[in-house]
Structures are given as C-alpha cells and as structure tokens.
Amino acid sequence: MTSPQHTETADVVLVGAGIMSATLATLLNDLQPEWKLTVLERLDAAGLESSNAWNNAGTGHSALCELNYAPQASDGTVSATKALNINEQFQITRQLWSSLVENGTLGAPSTFINSVPHISMVFGDDHANYLRARYDAFKPHKLFERMEFTEDREQIAQWAPLTMHGRGAGRVAATFAPEGTDVDFGSLTNQLLRHLGGRGVSIQYGQQVTTLERQSDGSWLVSVKDRLNRDNNRVIRARFVFLGAGGGALPLLQKSGIKEAKGFGGFPVSGLFLRNVDPTITAQHNAKVYGQASVGAPPMSVPHLDTRYVDGERALMFGPYGGFRPNFLKQGSLLDLPKSVRAHNLYPMTRAGMANLDLVKYLLGELTKTRSQRIEALHEYYPSAEESQWELIEAGQRVQVMKADKAKGGVLQFGTELVTSADGSIGALLGASPGASTAVPIMLNLLTKCFPAKMSEWEPRIKELIPAYGVKLNDNPGLADEIMGHTASVLGIK
C-alpha cells in the first residue's frame, strides 16, 4: 500500500467513540499524558450506538439481579462464582468513576448514575425454588450480604409496587439488593470525551476507518474516510490501535489480518423496548426487576422492568423483545453479516448455529410477535399496565460472538471477548453484556496484555485511581466495607 500524501501520526488510535474507547482513552491519557491519542467516530457525535441510554438497559451489571449469571446445575445447586467475578469487576468500575468525580473529570454523579435497587422476580414453584437456592448460595458472600429474599407479596409490593398491582394467584418470589444502580452510559461517555478533548486528545467525528495494515516496524497504517469531506481522506500511522466500535469491531478486526482474529464470527441480535414516560406511573416504580429468560433466549433478552434516568428525566422500560437484522450496528449496513463470513469462520459459525437452534426458534417467535403479545409479556411483570401508555422503541444492535472451539467446532460466546495481537499492537472488544458496566476492568486487562512493559510503571497511579486494584473485595471484608462505603458516598449509591 502506498501512503497518500496526507499522512498523520498518533501513538494510539481508538476506533469508536463509545464507553469502551472513552474509558481506555481516559486511562491512557492519565497514565501517559504525553502520548498523542486520536479517537475516530463514523457518526457525528459520541455514544450514539450501544452506549446511548435508550440503546441499552442502563443496568450497572453487578450480578445482583441477573439470573443468567448463576444458572442452576443438574443437581439443583447454584454457584455464585461467576456472579462474584462480575460484581468484583463492577466494584473496580465504581472506584474509577469515584476518583474521576473527585478529581473533576466527571460532573455530578446524578448526571450518569443513580441509585436504583436491583430485584429478581420469578413465578411458579420451580423458579421460586431456584431463586431461594440462588439466594442461599449468594447471601454468605460479602458482596451479596445485603441481599434479601421473600415470597411475601406485601413485602414485594413495598419493593416494586407496580409488579403487584392486579396480580392474580400463584407463587411469587423475589430478591432485593438496595445497592443497585441505573447508569446513563451515553452521558458518561460524553463527559469523559469532553474532558479528554480539553486535555488535547483529538476526537474526530464523521471519520470511518476503511482499512488497517500492519507495517514491518509493528505500527499500523489506519486509512480514514472523511464522511463529511471527501478531500480530507487520509492515513494515520499509529503505534497502537484499539477497535472499540461495538458491533463494528468485528469487520475491522477481520481487516487487520491478525491470526488471533481467525475463527471469530458474529450473529447480530436487535432489541425492542416498551417505554413509559408518564410521571404518574414512573414515580411509582424505582427498581430494576429482572426475571427468567425464555428457553433459548440469549442473556441480553432476559425480561426486565426498569427504572431509567436519562437526561435527568425518569422513565420506565420493559423488554427487550428480540429481533433480527443483519447489520452489526444500528446505523450499519444490511450487508454486515454476509460480508463478515470468511473461510476461517464459516465452519465455527455453522457449528455454533446448529448447537443453538433454540436461539433461532426464539428469534423467529419474537419476530412474529404482535403488539398485544408484547403487552401480554409486560403484564406478567406489571399486571395493570395500560397499553396506551407504552411506546415501542428500537434499542441498539448486539453482536453475539461465535468462535472456533476444538471440541465442538464452534460455540456461541455470550458476554464480551477481548482479542489482542501477540505483539500487543492492536486490540478489539467483541460481544455485549455486561460490557459497559465492566469497561474499566476490561480496559485494565487490555493494558496488561498490550503494554506489559509499562505496567510496573503505571501500577502506582492505577492504585491511586482504583485503591483496591488487584484485590478481591469479597475476600477482604474490612477493605470491602471501606471501598464500597466510599464509592457509594461519592456516587450517591444507597
């Protein structure tokens, strides 16, 4: 490739102006302020895709209410291991956010995080018995010690009144975690990027990365198409590239040609939510109520009735309802999925698809749902909901990771996947929930993988920003009380 005359240089290029790039850029700018950072976003503003408040559930994912993080084994037991890991990660995120509030990087906490209890609610004997087993497994752990369990309808009505209005007979069980939160990741992303812009970080909109080519010296030539001015197309030579473009990260990772990208594919799942902004209704519910996913449904499709705080206004959302479009981004191309199929990932994707036919069945069922059927699903969690008060909105696109597996040929990988080159010159984040909530530990993991020689130099500053860095709070009760108490105080979490 012959470089055009207009060539720029940067130490780090971050593709995508969402919460992941904003988090990584914030860390790098603090740890290595002399480095030249460039953030490239194809749209005309930050956080318009998955980070946008209406394109995600806003849950500060800490495994307090998400039942899919603690499945029941065939012998009836429930393990808290995965849930503890996710909660530990969110505690790391809370620590960084607290430090950024204290040093003025972020504004008032209520502009991006609000205290909203997390509730798990299930119906029927089997689900109630499972929830009790989950509670018994969680309660002894420090990070879940405040969790409560009840089958008393009056108690549940105090926690989440709308869920009990007009409810018929039948067994209902719920757990309650008062320290839950709602997060406006769009606001958080924009605050971080505004601060970075004031510190000399170049944040450029309307810029689409078209190709990536590694050079013999380990650097990358990043070809950029200016969607607003064709005469401004250019190439940026960067020592490190981060692909944090949500669903758009997979196609770019494939263009990089690194061997670590082999075998990865993606399956897009879109989501719809019902939204209610009537103050007389929203004032009656302050909780995120999560239930059990339908058979075959991906974790991101767990039904939930959520309190949301967006731009200072309170709203209710219920969903998500699954859907399918072949584009990897909400504002992407319908050719994204077919163009992502390569020789190296065709077999893994086929095998993963064959092993997850229940997901296909679920999506087909979701696609054919009528409005009345969607309202019927809402009534399971809010029995007296009036259909006329709810509008259907389209949420963001999520791309489920599919990857090669020696034993199975290919598997569907839920959650997030960090892919980095052996030389540490490029990294990409694939996947979905609980991604945004665990952005800080994910980016710290990326720093460890891609900048191992710098970590000893950076660690003291990381520990200033994240006092419990490298420590499991669940195993250190005294430190947990100190750290969680401080971050709760700074961030306004009850």
First to last CA, the chain: 56
CB atoms within 10 A of CB 8: 15
Tokens of residue 113, six digits: 């995080």
For 115-134, the pLDDT digits (tens) are 999 999 999 999 999 999 99
Q: Are 405 and 411 in contact (CB under 8 A)?
A: yes
**263 part of a folded domain:** yes
Residue 422: both structure tokens together: 């052996």
What is the edge-to-edge ordering of all strands in the sheet holding 288-290?
Answer: 148-150, 172-177, 118-123, 288-290, 304-310, 313-323, 265-276, 391-405, 409-413
Over residues 150-173, the pLDDT tens digits come to 999 999 999 999 999 999 999 999
Would you state the structure tokens that stand for residue 280, as one six-digit string? 């007389």
Q: How far from 398 is each of 40, 403, 415, CA to CA, in Å?
A: 21, 16, 10
Alpha helices in 139-278 (DSSP H): 153-159, 185-198, 249-256
How does DSSP classify residue 101?
A: H
Q: Which range has the worst mean pLDDT, 7-16, 164-173, 405-414?
A: 405-414
Whether residue 460 has a cis bond before it, omega within 30° of 0? no
Predicted local distance difference test score (pLDDT) of residue 325: 84
* Structural domain span for residue 141: 7-479
Closest CA to 444 of 455, 460, 433: 455
Q: What pLDDT, on the 0 to 100 scale, is given for residue 299?
A: 60
| Angle ∠(172,173,178) on CA atoms, nearest 5 | 135
**Rounded to whole angstroms, how far apart are CA atoms 255 and 210?**
9
Q: Which is higher by pLDDT, 353 or 94?
A: 94
**With 50 as the cut, is the pLDDT of residue 1 above it?**
no
Cis peptide before 320 (omega within 30 of 0): yes
pLDDT given at position 356: 82
Residue 109 lies in a domain: yes
pLDDT at 4: 45
| Alpha carbon 145 to its chain's center | 25
Rg (CA), the chain: 22
CA distance 109 to 130: 36
Q: Is residue 493 part of a domain?
A: no
In a domain, 112, yes or no: yes
Identify the three-state secondary structure at position 356. coil
Residue 469, pLDDT score: 97
In eight-state DSSP terms, residue 59 is: B
Q: How confident is the model at residue 331 (pLDDT cuts 50, 70, 90)?
A: confident
Tally of domains in the chain: 1
- Mean pLDDT of the 96-114 span: 98
Q: What is the pLDDT of residue 348?
A: 85
CA distance 458 to 202: 23
The answer to whether 387 and 375 are in contact (CB under 8 A) is yes
The 8-class DSSP code of residue 389 comes to G
Residues 58, 183 contacting (CB under 8 angstroms): yes
- Name which residue leads in pLDDT, 360 or 109: 109
pLDDT band at 296 (very low <50, low <70, confident <90, very high): low
Which of 58-72, 133-147, 357-371 is predicted most confidently? 133-147
* Mean residue pLDDT across the chain: 93
Q: How confident is the model at residue 298 (pLDDT cuts 50, 70, 90)?
A: low
Nearest to 269 by CA among 354, 339, 317, 329: 329
Exposure string of 99-134, with b = 16+ CB inside 10 Å and e = fewer, is bbbeeebbeebebbbbbbbbbbbbbeeebbebbbbb
Average pLDDT of the segment spanning 58-78 = 93
Residue 186 is assigned to a structural domain of this protein: yes
Beta bridge partners of 322: 271
> How does pLDDT run across 440-483, given as a tens digit for each residue?
999 999 999 999 999 999 999 999 999 999 999 999 999 999 99
What lies within 8 Å, CB to CB, of 79 at 6+ separation is: 70, 73, 137
Q: 200-250, pLDDT tens digit by residue?
A: 999 999 999 999 999 999 999 999 999 988 888 999 999 999 999 988 999
Residue 37 — pLDDT band, cuts 50, 70, 90?
A: very high
What percent of the chain lies above the pLDDT cut of 90? 76
Please, what's the b/e burial string for 235-256 (b: 16 or more CB within 10 A of its CB; e: otherwise)? bbbbbbbbbbbbbbbbbbbbbb
| pTM reported for the whole predicted model | 0.94
pLDDT of residue 59: 92
Q: Is residue 326 part of a domain?
A: yes
User: How much is the pLDDT for 3?
Assistant: 43
CATH of the domain at 373: 3.50.50.60
In a domain? residue 492 = no
Task: Please check whether residue 491 lies inside any domain of the structure.
Answer: no
Please state the rounded mean pLDDT for residues 260-281: 92
Mean pLDDT across 376-383? 96
- The DSSP output letter for 199 is T
Structure tokens, 60: 């500060």
Least confidently predicted of 44-48, 177-181, 263-267: 263-267
* pLDDT surpassing 90 at residue 401: no
Closest CA to 266 of 198, 208, 324: 324
